[in-house]
Structure 1
Amino acid sequence: MEEISVRAAVLDAPGTPLRVEELSLQPPRAGEVLVRVTAAGLCHTDLHYLSGDLACTTPIVPGHEGAGVVEQVGAGVTSVRPGDSVVLMWRPRCGRCAYCSSGRPALCDNARVQITTNGLLDGTTRLRRGDQEVRHLLGVSCFADRCVVAEQSVIKIPDDIPPRIASLVGCAVITGVGSVLNVVTDAARSGILVIGAGGVGLSCVLGGKLAGAYPLIVADVVPQRLELAARLGATHTIDSGRTDLEQAVREICPDGVDWALEAVGRAPTLEQGLACLRKGGTLVAIGLGAVGATFEVPINQLVQQEKRLVGSLYGSANTVTDVPKLLELYKAGRLPLDELLGPTYPLSRVNDACQALVDGAVGRIVLDPDR
């Protein structure tokens, strides 16, 4: 197998626009897979890397939420073969460590290699710009028409799943729905507050509705996002740009909510989420923030009111079993993922797509590498 030419969006330095150009992509090595990308979701995490809030080695091809079709496999690959439809996963699992064995593959140490090296599982890259190496973001780099990933970074899915839907399941949906189904232990008897109605927050709404949570309150500063949240199942919405969030929540739940899920990753909203809890309530931090970002926690609230603060990565999901289950729910009409879809942009307009996300786009933006 020889190198092929791929079209990809490249970040040369934080804070600079992406450049769509032709790169060379080496064939998959042992344990790796070449995937033709059919759809790539645009996540706020990508923006963190583009801005420099999260560090990466450049030049690099961003994109970590995607779906595609397997074109080639390296030696030893057994879980997929050419022609299979797959979801790309940015947290590869080894399947053997204590975390994988206990159903928590998002915490697998495999991911540390890809994060620290911006390479694949052996720490190296398959992308080149002439003689220059180009790195892989989170071992995926799906802002491209093709990518090489580790076998552990793909999950086979049914061929009849639309590519845009499949791409969302690889990050936003598994994170949001998973955080409710896997972390909120008594959703059907609890009130839930979701802070942030982007792709992940809206997925939390779908998870809350699926679990029977009431009330299901959503807060955001973009009215159109709140309208979509209501269509997806939110029982109450709060424009937190115009209204004091804690006061508005306590008008609905005088004692506060049992669970607050923060899908923004900012100190002020985390502090608001903690303030909105009732005694014994739990704040679930879902959104990633800038490197080193912190927020203040009133110590006495934790002690005297027994409030709790937990994190949830990748929806605390067992991705191997949870991704197929979410797609089964979608096909059964129980998880209306089509409603999550926002505008679709061609790869050539990736910078316009990023700006739309910054400006508060409604629904998940998806890139089409073929356009």
Structure 2
Amino acid sequence: MERDSHTTKTSGDVITCRAAVAWTTNAPLSVEEVTVDPPKACEVRVKIISSGICGTDNHILEGKMETPFPVILGHEGAGIVESIGQGVTTVKPGDKVLMFPLPECRECIYCLHPKGNFCKKQNILSPTGLMLDGTSRFTCRGKKIYHLQGTSTFTEYTVVDEIAVAKINDRAPMDTVCIISCEVSTGFGAVFNTAQVTPGSTCVVFGLGGIGSAIVMACKASGASRIIRVDTDEQKFPRARALGVTDCLNPKKLEKPVQKVVKEMTGVGVDFAFEAIGLIETMVSALKSCNRSSGVCVIMGVAPTGSQLSFDPVLLLPGRTLKSSVLGGYKTRDDIPKLVTDYVQKFNIEPLITHRLPFPEINEGFKLLREGKCIRCVLSMRP
């Protein structure tokens, strides 16, 4: 097993390291020297090896999603446990781990329910930017720095609650596996768990970003006979076809609403529709693209804080289903490590990573994301 050289040297000490701090919205991240406190009881300090740049991080920077500032963003992280606090039993120093923006306490009604995964201790809907005890472990320039959804992976070291971290297969490549903590789990879970796509079915996916691309891979693996992609950026179309898309539509070049074109292409509408953009209008279009009797629409895109989804309820009356989930409905600590093992043994997620950059070039990674030039950019924290 790969062991972190800092494991015995820094345990119990304050660590000084580099982190990308977001001081305010609509501004570049600033790579700063920060201090990271030791883990308290039931907490884990992790040396980050790799981290993906997700669209949610960009939404926060653009001011579309509520979170306290200044903050260390990033929620797609793979790393090695550096030290643990009192009472931690599920991981130990030296373990390879993933961190999750959605915890699993294994005690609340949602964690105990066989189909629920939205743990009561989540910090997503009303983000505090703090650990479960109400404090922060980060300091920069003498100021408290907030955490993002209990993770904060745009840093060389982070502290997470034990309920938001899990040991993974030791064979998992640490420069790639980080995307399973959000991109892959969200996209695959939307297909396998939330929608339960069937062989021979027709699907439409709104959005050609990271989550949408993972959805396409899962639809193809589920045996979908037709996968239609909808996006206004045609430079993404070749990548989409390589992943398994059969038809690509640019709504800006259509003479009719995209949902009408989808219905004409399929006869009665698709069996499964996925929205992976986060816009109200595309959510409604996805719902209207469904077969009215049995179609299933799954919303995975995150709309700006305070948005209101409005549509004629008659759309649901004939039998359409509107659904959603966080991290694909996977119970994070129980299920996602199994997904990692499946990746090691069975499937390839490399096509979902189009760019790799050293950590100091993080703002270039966000630029690639905003320009639509990448599916997922993964940052390497290694020197």
* Fold match by TM threshold 0.5: yes
Asked if 1:344 is matched to 2:336, the reply is: no
Shift of 1:165: 2.3
Partner of 1:36: 47
How many equivalent pairs are there? 369
Which of 16, 19, 25 is the equivalent residue of 2:36? 25
Which of 70, 87, 95 is the equivalent residue of 2:106? 95
Percent identity (aligned) = 33
Which of 251, 264, 267 is the equivalent residue of 1:240? 251
Asked if 1:110 is matched to 2:116, the reply is: no
Which of 267, 275, 283 is the equivalent residue of 2:297? 283
Shift of 1:114: 9.2
Corresponding residue SS for 2:16: strand
Q: Report matched runs for 1:116-127 at 5 Å.
A: 116-127=127-138
* Residues 1:26 and 1:114: Cα distance change in structure 2 (over 3 Å): farther
Partner of 1:310: 323
**More off after superposition, 324-333 vs 155-164:** 324-333
Asked if 1:174 is matched to 2:174, the reply is: no
Output one character per residue of 1:54-112: Cα deviation in whole Å (capped at 9) or x when no partner: 11111111111111111111111111111111111111111011110114563111114
Counterpart of 1:44, as a letter, is: G
Corresponding residue SS for 1:225: helix
Corresponding residue SS for 1:169: helix
Q: Report matched runs for 1:196-211 at 5 Å.
A: 196-211=207-222
**More off after superposition, 316-325 vs 248-257:** 316-325
Partner of 2:308: 294
Asked if 1:135 is matched to 2:146, the reply is: yes
Partner of 2:337: 324
| Residues 48 and 156 in structure 2, CA contact (< 8 A), matched pair in contact too | yes
Counterpart of 2:190, as a letter, is: S
* Residues 1:212 and 1:165: Cα distance change in structure 2 (over 3 Å): same
Shift of 1:295: 3.2
Counterpart of 2:307, as a letter, is: A
Counterpart of 1:218, as a letter, is: R
| Residues 113 and 123 in structure 1, CA contact (< 8 A), matched pair in contact too | no
Which of 340, 352, 360 is the equivalent residue of 2:372? 360
Give the whole-Å Cα distance in 2 for the aligned partners of 1:219 and 1:45.
20
Corresponding residue SS for 1:110: coil
TM-score by length of 1: 0.94
**Stretches of 4+ moved more than 6 A in 1?**
none
Which of 75, 80, 87 is the equivalent residue of 2:91? 80
**More off after superposition, 90-99 vs 273-282:** 273-282
Shift of 1:234: 2.1
Give the whole-Å Cα distance in 2 for the aligned partners of 1:51 and 1:77.
36
Give the whole-Å Cα distance in 1 for the aligned partners of 2:147 and 2:327.
19
Which of 238, 244, 252 is the equivalent residue of 1:227? 238
Corresponding residue SS for 2:83: strand
Give the whole-Å Cα distance in 1 for the aligned partners of 2:158 and 2:202.
42
| Residues 224 and 362 in structure 1, CA contact (< 8 A), matched pair in contact too | no
Output one character per residue of 1:304-326: Cα deviation in whole Å (capped at 9) or x when no partner: x3322222211011223431332
Output one character per residue of 1:215-270: Cα deviation in whole Å (capped at 9) or x when no partner: 22222222342222222222333233433522432343110011111011101211
| Residues 36 and 69 in structure 1, CA contact (< 8 A), matched pair in contact too | yes
Corresponding residue SS for 2:23: coil
Counterpart of 1:150, as a letter, is: D
| Residues 194 and 324 in structure 2, CA contact (< 8 A), matched pair in contact too | no
| Residues 52 and 378 in structure 2, CA contact (< 8 A), matched pair in contact too | yes
Counterpart of 1:97, as a letter, is: C
**More off after superposition, 88-97 vs 160-169:** 160-169
Gaps of 5+ in 2: 1-11
Over aligned residue pairs, what C-alpha RMSD do you find? 1.8
Partner of 1:147: 158
| Residues 65 and 88 in structure 1, CA contact (< 8 A), matched pair in contact too | yes
**More off after superposition, 149-158 vs 109-118:** 109-118
Counterpart of 2:49, as a letter, is: T
